[in-house]
Copies of this chain bind each other. A is one copy, B any other.
Amino acid sequence: MTLVTADLAMSLDGFVAGTDVSLDNPGGHGGEPLFHWIHDLASWRERQGMTGGEENRDSDIMREWFDATGAVVMGRLMYDTGEKPWGDNPPFRAPVFVLTHRPAPSLVKQGGTSFTFVTDGIHSALEQAKAAAGGRNVDIAGGARTVQQFLRAGLVDELQLHVIPVLLGGGLRLFDHIGPDQRKLEVIRVVDTPRATHLKYRVLA
């Protein structure tokens, strides 16, 4: 069954990026501690076309996400900032649907990644992503504003947060503008490592 997931690294104080996020600085000022944990994981390196790296529980969790994800939805800023670093063989290896107001022709990359630009909103993007996911999950990859739109619309089934042991003191909050409706969660799994506490929840009604 295709689930809709969102999976982000977050500081204990709730930030998924630093301050002043922009095209030139997608992680934001001060956001570095959020992104260190993945760089030397074997599963991450593998998807970047590199060998080696650490095999540990963090790496397993990252690999699990790669294996489970059959299609991806992201916002336009995330695409614009990722396009160059992802290169000709992006790490997704799955169809990616980019929310945008500017129509653009689809792009087919190596390794199974394609980018389709969706101009008619989140429901359309999700429908297309589900159809393309081959029974695997659709992940709402980011950025924060995109995840917030899906949370607000009640469209996220599972939420995984990699809670990084740091207080950033400021930045881009994940849980902002998610609407006034309370949503109960159910813990699926908690995995604690020195790098992060990985909290996985089912979003209930």
Contact = CB atoms under 8 A, between A and B. Distances in A.
A180 to B, nearest CB: 5
4 closest A-B pairs by CB: A13-B175, A165-B185, A190-B192, A167-B183
Q: How big is the A interface, by class?
A: 35 or more
A179 interface: yes
A174 B169 CA distance: 11
Contacts of A194: 187
- Which residue of A178, A182, A201 has the most chain B CB atoms within 10 A of its CB atom? A182
Interface of A: 12-14, 30, 33, 151, 159, 161, 163, 165-170, 173-175, 178-187, 190, 192, 194, 197, 199, 201, 203
Contacts of A199: 12, 163, 197
Given A12-B159, A12-B199, 13 more contacts: A12-B185, A13-B14, A13-B175, A14-B173, A165-B185, A165-B201, A167-B175, A167-B185, A187-B192, A187-B194, A190-B192, A190-B197, A197-B199
